[in-house]
């Protein structure tokens, strides 16, 4: 089975994206999914988008480079967190 | 009290892990997990220390050679927010800033003085930064803590004040942005925007974010920016080709590595902030409250990005021509989006206006950053960040150029 690649991006590529990346990693572990996570700034997505299967951001994404994208703001606020994590996992299982 | 003093004198690399471990246990973490995150935080500091060394050792001599050759006196190195945040958290004020900020927030929520539940614990470092500078300037830790508390309270009020505007403009329902750096520019941007409204012709100008993003896209990639700046500085310093190329690579390396090191620090803080977050949400979640987040959630907006991209070359130009500025912009060229994150909604996404307002606050900011450089360098040394002998001073745009930080610092200095 090929590993899926997820881009996790926010404004800094460090702050909120770290929180989201950790939560996705944990959720994937539970599901026994092996994925590559690329963590970066929104302005850097362009450079990684080609090889990505999914783009997850905590900020506004203007151009999703033809890839599926999910807004993960709720992983930061904690409101509706489960639903978004489920959405991400089901996308990765495809 | 002597126990606390002993702890504080151990130095950040030892002190902070101990404090984080204890804080983790208080918040109900398992000892094993708390221990691991405490260790991670200490390691983050060690990593940042290494990269600051790489930056200062390479850029310092180049900056000094440039001063000699060009007569442009930019000998204060902008180490950028990753280093500044580490210095802030590693300071004596930083050790207490999370419980302190949390207490201020809870008191203000309980007394209805704010609607913002600030769950962005990472960015409490801005308050610690102000406090650390005050503590260094006055030699008084208590005054430093008071300054941090005042800063936290003001930022909560600014977040409340701008919440509706931010929610509408960025499409973030229920959110406010109590960000110590971004919010500080709100009280300046609002009158400046009103002023621009009154100037004929100028008040009609608009710029297209898409074109700007295409043309200035390179400024959004810190690694490339670091390489180019390193090469240019090498040439201006009249280094030979070998040294210049090495300087370019080193600066690209700093731009890449510094955030990675801060990421380690962040990972260590996550369990603490998650625990504190659920504590706050249990008590204050609901319709009448805003959730206070990092302005990182807003900087993806095209208007914010394109404004920041244009401001990168403008910042360097201002730094060179502005009399009285000694700061060589570097690390925080990548942080400009945060400066404009709350200016963009005020101008309703008008890039032209945001750039004008941005250029003004950057000009003033560079002077402030020059002014606080000795304090910031001292705070860094106190926090056990090592500088080579005779090295240049350091400062930063975030938060060294922060007007709110500076005003609080000057007021506290009166006491």
Residues of B in contact with A47 (CB under 8 A): 221
Beta carbons within 10 angstroms of residue B340's beta carbon: 33
Nearest residue on chain A to B299, judged by CA atoms?
A: A11
Confirm whether A10 is a catalytic residue. yes
We report the CATH number of the domain holding residue A42 as: 3.40.50.2300
Whether chain B has a CB inside 8 Å of the CB on A58: the answer is yes
Looking at chain A, which runs of residues are DSSP E strands? 4-10, 35-41, 54-57, 68-71
In this complex, do B82 and A14 lie within 8 Å of one another by their Cβ atoms?
Answer: yes
B-interface mutation test, from A12, A26, A48, most B Cβ less than 10 A away? A12
> What integer pLDDT is reported at residue B70 of this predicted model?
78
Q: Which residues contact B367 (CB under 8 A, 6 or more apart)?
A: B322, B324, B325
Nearest to A14 among B263, B281, B285 (CB): B263
Looking at B231-308, which runs of residues are DSSP E strands? 290-292
> What integer pLDDT is reported at residue B1 of this predicted model?
54
Nearest to A59 among B222, B267, B297 (CB): B297
| ipTM for this prediction | 0.72
Residues of chain B with pLDDT under 50: none
Beta carbons within 10 angstroms of residue B288's beta carbon: 7
Task: List the beta bridge partners of residue A39.
Answer: A8
Nearest residue on chain B to A75, judged by CA atoms?
A: B274
Q: How many domains is chain A built from?
A: 1
pLDDT 10s digits, A14-37: 888 988 999 999 999 998 989 999
> What integer pLDDT is reported at residue A42 of this predicted model?
86
Nearest to B220 among A16, A43, A60 (CB): A43
In this complex, do A77 and B293 lie within 8 Å of one another by their Cβ atoms?
Answer: yes
Q: Which two tokens stand for residue B150?
A: 């005042």
Interface residue ranges in chain B relative to chain A, Cβ cutoff 8 Å: 82, 119, 122-123, 170-172, 174-175, 217, 220-222, 259, 262-263, 266-267, 270, 277-278, 281, 285, 291, 293-302, 305, 337-338, 341
> What integer pLDDT is reported at residue B221 of this predicted model?
78
Residue A33 lies in domain: 4-93
Distance CA B184, CA B167 (A): 18
């Amino acid at each position: 089975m090929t590993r899926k690649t997820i881009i996790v991006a926010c404004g800094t590529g460090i702050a909120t994206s770290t929180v989201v990346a950790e939560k996705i990693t944990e959720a994937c572990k539970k599901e026994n999914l092996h994925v590559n996570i690329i963590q970066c700034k929104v302005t850097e997505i362009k450079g990684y988008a080609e090889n990505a299967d999914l783009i997850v951001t905590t900020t506004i994404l203007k151009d999703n480079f033809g890839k599926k994208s999910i807004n993960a703001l709720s992983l930061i606020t904690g409101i509706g967190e489960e639903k978004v994590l489920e959405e991400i996992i089901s996308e990765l299982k495809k | 009290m002597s126990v606390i003093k002993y702890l504080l004198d151990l130095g950040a690399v030892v002190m902070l892990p101990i404090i984080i471990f204890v804080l983790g246990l208080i918040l109900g973490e398992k000892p094993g997990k708390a221990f691991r995150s405490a260790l991670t935080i200490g390691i983050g500091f060690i990593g940042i220390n290494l990269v600051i060394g790489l930056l200062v050792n390479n850029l310092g001599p180049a900056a000094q050679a440039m001063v000699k050759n060009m007569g442009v006196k930019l000998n204060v190195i902008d180490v950028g927010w990753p280093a500044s945040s580490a210095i802030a958290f590693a300071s004596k004020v930083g050790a207490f800033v999370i419980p302190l900020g949390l207490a201020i927030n809870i008191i203000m929520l309980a007394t209805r003085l704010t609607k913002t539940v600030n769950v962005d614990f990472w960015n409490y470092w801005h308050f610690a930064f102000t406090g650390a500078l005050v503590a260094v300037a006055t030699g008084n830790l208590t005054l430093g803590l008071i300054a941090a508390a005042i800063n936290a309270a003001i930022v909560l009020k600014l977040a409340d004040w701008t919440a509706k505007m931010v929610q509408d403009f960025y499409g973030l329902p229920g959110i406010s942005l109590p960000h110590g750096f971004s919010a500080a520019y709100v009280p300046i941007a609002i009158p400046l925007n009103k002023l621009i409204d009154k100037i004929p012709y100028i008040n009609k100008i608009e710029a297209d974010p898409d074109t700007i993003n295409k043309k200035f896209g390179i400024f959004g990639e810190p690694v490339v920016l670091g390489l180019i700046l390193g090469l240019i500085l090498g040439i201006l310093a009249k280094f030979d080709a070998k040294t210049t190329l090495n300087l370019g690579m080193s600066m690209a390396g700093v731009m890449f590595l510094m955030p990675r090191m801060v990421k380690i620090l962040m990972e260590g803080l996550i369990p603490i902030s998650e625990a504190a977050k659920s504590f706050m949400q249990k008590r204050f979640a609901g319709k009448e409250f805003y959730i206070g987040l990092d302005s990182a959630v807003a900087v993806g907006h095209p208007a914010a990005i394109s404004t920041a991209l244009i401001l990168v070359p403008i910042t360097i130009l201002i730094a060179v021509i502005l009399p009285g500025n000694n700061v060589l912009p570097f690390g925080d060229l990548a942080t400009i989006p945060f400066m404009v994150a709350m200016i963009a909604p005020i101008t309703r996404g008008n890039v032209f206006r945001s750039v004008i307002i941005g250029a003004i606050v950057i000009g003033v900011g560079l002077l402030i950053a020059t002014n606080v450089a000795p304090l910031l360098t001292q705070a860094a040394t106190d926090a056990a960040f090592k500088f080579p002998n005779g090295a240049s001073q350091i400062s930063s745009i975030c938060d060294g150029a922060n007007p709110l930080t500076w005003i609080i610092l000057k007021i506290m200095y009166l006491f």
